[in-house]
């Protein structure tokens, strides 16, 4: 992302009145925080802003001011379409089907496919929220408390509370600036990262009861039946992957989540020195070296078998 691109983004924003901001399906804290943070910034600039996430806002982010502004469908005509925190166009879902090529893509995934007319992609950023913060600084866009809370939530969740290996002094400087605006870090941390519903923990229990380990690889699955048994409302893994990733005897952990449409959502995590994004891209997914995911067509048994095979191969190569 160079100066010209930042200027080009500023020009696009200044010329637009109706702006659509969208992010990926199964949104995480950075998807919600970046959509909301940028949306509120542009609104402060007097723009008519629509915020759309096809899967809506997960309940764990309901405390963010403005989160109720995020809807599930893009309605109307827009002068500018911005996609945030999304590495490829498929991951948006069907929101953009009628709108064609997006104008701007703001993202930090190394696997980003540069699918928009203007691609503001920086893979050194811990979160897309960090890029949005930097753009706001460069272009003298306004920040206020709800914006700071949204951006800090993106920074916190993607860095897993500042403990991913890419967390650095600048991450903490930005967090400090957002706190100075008034964002309550302990509160946001607890809401987005610690608190779990009883359903989510029961759902973890289903997965944990079937956990498997082989050499330095650990995995488990969550079936549609598990979801019903636990009465868990989401179609994600309730963050079970980050529980598995804490097992010290492993290099790579995987969670397979069975989906209603005959596909399986796979999440990988790895220790430094292992690259799971390259495995995820083999299956049409993406992400970062230590954390990646993919949506894979097929039934649970088959997907599990194929993914485990590819992951074992990758582990052998890394040794
Ligand atoms: P998670 O496993 O928590 O869903 O995602 C881990 C990382 O991989 C995140 O950076 C996320 O954006 C990325 N990721 C997860 N699923 C997909 C996918 O289906 N496609 C792509 N391109 N990236 C994904
Ligand atoms: Mn992100």
Confidence of residue 195 (pLDDT cuts 50, 70, 90): very high
Which pLDDT tens digit goes with each residue over 250-260? 999 999 999 99
> What angle is formed at CA 303 by the lines to CA 301 and CA 304, rounded to 5 degrees?
65
**To which H or E segment does residue 133 belong?**
helix 128-138
Taking only the tens place, the pLDDT of each residue in 198-251 is 999 999 999 999 999 999 999 999 999 999 999 999 889 999 999 999 999 999
Assign domain 199-318 one CATH number from 1.10.600.10, 3.10.310.30, 3.30.420.40, 1.10.3720.10: 3.10.310.30
- 27 Cβ closer than 6 Å to some ligand 1 atom: no
**Sequence spans of domains, the chain:** 3-193, 199-318
Whether 291 lines ligand 1, by a CB cut-off of 6 Å, is yes
Check if 285 has its Cβ closer than 6 Å to any atom of ligand 1.
yes
| Res 319 pLDDT > 80 | no
Predicted confidence (pLDDT) per residue in 93-107, tens digit: 998 888 889 999 999
**CA gap 269, 168 in Å, rounded:** 20
User: In which element (H, E) is residue 269 found?
Assistant: strand 263-270
Is the pTM of the predicted complex or chain greater than 0.85? yes
Which residue's structure tokens are 């930005």? 174
Q: In what order do the strands lie in the sheet with 18-22?
A: 70-71, 48-52, 18-22, 80-84, 104-107, 118-121
**Closest-lying ligand 1 atom to the alpha carbon of residue 30:** 12
Class of domain 3-193: alpha beta
- The residue nearest atom 10 of ligand 1, judged by CA position, is 287
- For ligand 1, say whether the CB of 54 is within 6 Å of any of its atoms: no
| β-strand pairing of 263-270 with 18-22 | unpaired
Q: Whose CA is nearest to atom 9 of ligand 1?
A: 287
């Amino acid at each position: 992302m160079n100066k010209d691109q930042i200027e080009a983004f500023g020009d696009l924003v200044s010329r637009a009145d109706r702006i659509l901001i969208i992010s990926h399906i199964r949104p995480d804290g950075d998807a919600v925080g970046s959509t909301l943070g940028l949306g509120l910034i542009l609104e402060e600039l007097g723009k008519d802003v629509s915020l759309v996430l096809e899967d809506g806002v997960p309940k764990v982010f309901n405390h963010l001011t403005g989160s109720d502004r995020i809807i599930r469908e893009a309605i109307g005509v827009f002068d500018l379409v911005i996609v945030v925190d999304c590495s490829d166009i498929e991951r948006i879902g069907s929101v953009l089907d009628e709108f064609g090529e997006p104008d701007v893509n703001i993202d930090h995934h190394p696997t980003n496919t540069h699918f928009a007319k203007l691609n503001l992609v920086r893979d050194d950023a811990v979160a897309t929220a960090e890029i949005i913060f930097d753009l706001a600084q460069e272009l003298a866009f306004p920040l206020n408390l709800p914006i700071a809370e949204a951006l800090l939530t993106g920074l916190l969740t993607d860095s897993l509370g500042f403990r991913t290996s890419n967390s650095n002094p600048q991450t903490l400087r930005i967090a400090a600036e957002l706190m100075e605006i008034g964002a309550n870090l302990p509160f946001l941390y607890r809401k987005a990262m610690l608190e779990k519903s009883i359903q989510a923990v029961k759902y973890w229990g289903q997965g944990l009861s079937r956990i498997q380990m082989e050499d330095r690889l650990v995995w488990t699955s969550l079936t549609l039946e598990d979801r019903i048994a636990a009465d868990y409302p989401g179609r994600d893994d309730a963050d079970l992957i980050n529980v598995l990733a804490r097992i010290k005897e492993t290099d790579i952990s995987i969670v397979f989540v069975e989906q209603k449409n005959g596909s399986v959502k796979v999440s990988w995590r790895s220790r430094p020195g292992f690259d799971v994004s390259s495995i995820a891209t083999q299956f049409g997914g993406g992400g970062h070296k230590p954390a990646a995911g993919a949506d894979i067509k097929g039934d649970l048994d088959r997907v599990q078998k194929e993914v485990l095979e590819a992951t074992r191969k990758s582990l052998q190569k890394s040794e």
